[in-house]
Structure 1
Amino acid sequence: MADVKTEQLGLRITPTAKALLREAAVREHRSASNMVEHLIFEYCETNNIAVVVNNPPTKTGKTTP
């Protein structure tokens, strides 16, 4: 499996929301960042928001199929 490039996202949340995120992540055996990503995708799926997969260019500059 090819490595997927990640991006940073800085945001401010309340201490309560942070504690809830950490607890949810622990229960799911996930990192906090993976839990946020999981929740985003779950929300999009539930609310019929299309997830567009961005095919990054290869070393030759061509996009993958």
Structure 2
Amino acid sequence: MPFAQIYMIEGRTEDQKRAVIEKVSTALVEATGAPREAIRVWIQEVPRTNWGIAGQTAKDLGR
């Protein structure tokens, strides 16, 4: 069973997360030949204050 774990800065809409899940699932089906029913996708949202970029938080960078 293919399992994709995705980390993203929080703030995406439900529709955006649905699109990520659908597209990642499709990519895994195409790449592995696994049945769609066996695909699992987990989105982990990370607060902007917990995401570092070049020594600063994403919040401090305005992301």
TM-score, normalized by length of structure 2?
Answer: 0.31
Structure whose residues are more often helix by fraction = 1
Question: Which structure exhibits the higher relative contact order, with contacts defined as CA atoms closer than 8 Å and separated by 6 or more residues?
Answer: 2
TM-score, normalized by length of structure 1?
Answer: 0.31
Structure whose residues are more often strand by fraction = 2
